[in-house]
Structure 1
Amino acid sequence: MANTENQVIEIIPTLLVGDQTFDPANIPSSTLCIEIGDQQIRFCIVKEENMECVWLEDYTLDQTLTQEELFEKVKRVFTGHLLWSSSAWKSVRVAVNSGLFSLVPSLLFDEQNTTGYLSFSAGNAPSRQDIVLHHELPLVHAHTVFSMRQSWHEWILNHFRSSHLSFYHFTSPLVIGALVSHLEHQEIRIVSLYFEKDQFTLTLTESQQLILCNRFRFKEVHEMAYIVLFTLGQLGYEPEEVKVLCYGEISATADAYQELSHFLPGLQIGSRPTTLKYNSQCAEVPGHRYFGLFNTYLVSS
């Protein structure tokens, strides 16, 4: 769905599914959700009238390029696309998958000290090329503080200037999705593991309350399993006491999943959020892979 008369899209989607009859006239009554990180950029469209996901695109970014080169390529995806090029969306919600983030209790949050929170959590200050953002998560009585490239932030602000625009850190939809899982699975304690190439985000919730959300890097699957078990032990939980749901870049046949299955009897692959509806094309996509993107819509709804 590219406007080839004006632009040549240099990034080919690794996945594109959706309702080919979607009318751009519906854009002013629809929400565009964007997940943006160093490894990929993803989009989905949710029709507000019935909370139905009708479109999904996934682009893998070339890791050999500089940030500036990636930025230029991604801009071409936006400006050359019949849908993304529109500035008339009812709302646009951007989940930023950056490495610098901190979850601060609302009672302790000081808007004037956002850079300090990131410096404390990471051991170093954000880059001069980055901007520090924050947003509130009322469900967990906390504020998420995070950074993103200032050039990306300014361009998105300008591109979608006519839409209601929100920026979140990627962990926020993961937290919201984890809390919603209690209603879907009827479990007291749930560990949600969201896997990426060389890291995973662990979210532990109990009785629909957030206990922990943290991101860990790993090289070997046994190292990852140790981190999960050690974290549970430090919090006083036995492996048999928790339901463990896996999302992201993982499957039931993956080495990481097989390693965890030796220690966690409540392990299973998670599913897409049932709060949303999905058209037939989006329903065929493995929902656990796009758990964060789908839940980006639910952060504010």
Structure 2
Amino acid sequence: MNQDITQKTYKKLCFEVSYSDLSFCVIDLISNKIITYKSYSINKNNVLEEELWKIFVENPILDDKYDDVVVLHNSNLNTLVPSSLFDPNYLGSYLQYNSKVFETDYFAFDYLDTYDLNNVFIPYTNINNYLLDHYDTFDYKNCNSIFVKKALDFSKNKDTKQVWVHFQHDRFEITVTKNTNLLLFNTFTYNSLEDFIYFLLFTYEQLQLNPETIPVQFLGNISEESDAFKIAYKYIRNCSLLDVSHLKSVLDVPESDLLKHFILFHS
């Protein structure tokens, strides 16, 4: 947003939205501290707009003025395409191989400029439309654009392959990198821990990754005490949570929430 300096609030509002959850945080752009953040579960049986209306009523801070508003769409309806193979006129064609697409779908893409990649995705248009009633303008992205970019950032100058998992309550995204090269991105839905570990080990097998030597790092809704982490640790020697300790002093947020809301806080 272009604003006169006298109108600037030096605050940024970030949403992470799906049909089952909404999280938001307010960031002070001068200190780079998190002013506040909250998460809500959305009842799928209720009208989405009514659920969003309740969240706005409960949080008057959402009606404040902000220099920037960013909306992250937490969706697995996405695919990554190298720029050498990318044509913005045919966005739907890239998704039809791994998602059910319809002629009425709206497509968008994020450009990961450092890595010359394009993340093609289907945004939640009804959520965007609702938020347009509250904000003059906002940027929106797919969550996996941030996940993949951060994994590639962290892999810089690391000549060994690395596995990164963003764990959520019904699915997980997995990225495999080697020194800023993306070897794999995929997303899996699971109904049980057995599903989860099967898909994780299947990825190791397909990419010929040795579970004795190739590490996996977790972020998202997971801890060392969680059953998902314990079962992964049983089969993969080098399991760890993503090290976010360096962010704690900057963002002044508990480490568990830094992991859970890693993507939101890096929007």
TM-score by length of structure 2 reads 0.86
| Corresponding residue SS for 1:262 | helix
Matches of residues 1-301 of structure 1 in structure 2 within 5 Å? 28-65=9-46, 69-78=47-56, 81-86=59-64, 88-122=65-99, 124-126=100-102, 128=104, 130-161=105-136, 163=137, 165-182=138-155, 188-272=160-244, 274=246, 278-280=250-252, 282-283=253-254, 285-296=256-267
CA distance in 2, matches of 1:33, 1:40: 14
Gaps of 5+ in 2: 1-5
CA distance in 2, matches of 1:119, 1:150: 19
| Corresponding residue SS for 1:194 | strand
Number of the residue aligned with 2:3: none
Going from structure 1 to structure 2, the CA distance change for 1:276 and 1:258 (only over 3 Å counts) comes to: closer
Q: How far is the alpha carbon of 1:58 from its aligned partner? A: 0.7
Q: How far is the alpha carbon of 1:154 from its aligned partner? A: 2.3
CA distance in 2, matches of 1:204, 1:194: 12
Q: How far is the alpha carbon of 1:169 from its aligned partner? A: 0.8
Residues 53, 277 of structure 1: 8 Å contact kept? no
| Corresponding residue SS for 1:84 | helix
Question: How many residues in Structure 1 have an aligned counterpart in Structure 2?
Answer: 262
Residues 19, 48 of structure 2: 8 Å contact kept? no
| Corresponding residue SS for 1:135 | strand
Q: How far is the alpha carbon of 1:201 from its aligned partner? A: 0.6
Going from structure 1 to structure 2, the CA distance change for 1:271 and 1:82 (only over 3 Å counts) comes to: farther
Task: Give, as a single letter, the amino acid of the residue that structure 2 aligns with 1:286.
Answer: D
Going from structure 1 to structure 2, the CA distance change for 1:219 and 1:155 (only over 3 Å counts) comes to: closer
Q: How far is the alpha carbon of 1:214 from its aligned partner? A: 0.9
Deviations 1:236-282 (A, max 9, x none): 221133221112222212221111111211101224484686454x2
| Corresponding residue SS for 1:59 | strand
Q: How far is the alpha carbon of 1:48 from its aligned partner? A: 1.8
Q: Which moved more, 1:75-84 or 1:36-45?
A: 75-84
TM-score by length of structure 1 reads 0.77
CA distance in 1, matches of 2:56, 2:106: 21
CA distance in 2, matches of 1:127, 1:194: 30
Residues 42, 51 of structure 2: 8 Å contact kept? no
Task: Give, as a single letter, the amino acid of the residue that structure 1 aligns with 2:205.
Answer: G
Q: Over the residues paired in the alignment, what is the CA RMSD in angstroms? A: 2.7
CA distance in 2, matches of 1:133, 1:276: 33
Task: Give, as a single letter, the amino acid of the residue that structure 1 aligns with 2:184.
Answer: L
Task: Give, as a single letter, the amino acid of the residue that structure 1 aligns with 2:170.
Answer: D
Gaps of 5+ in 1: 1-24, 297-301
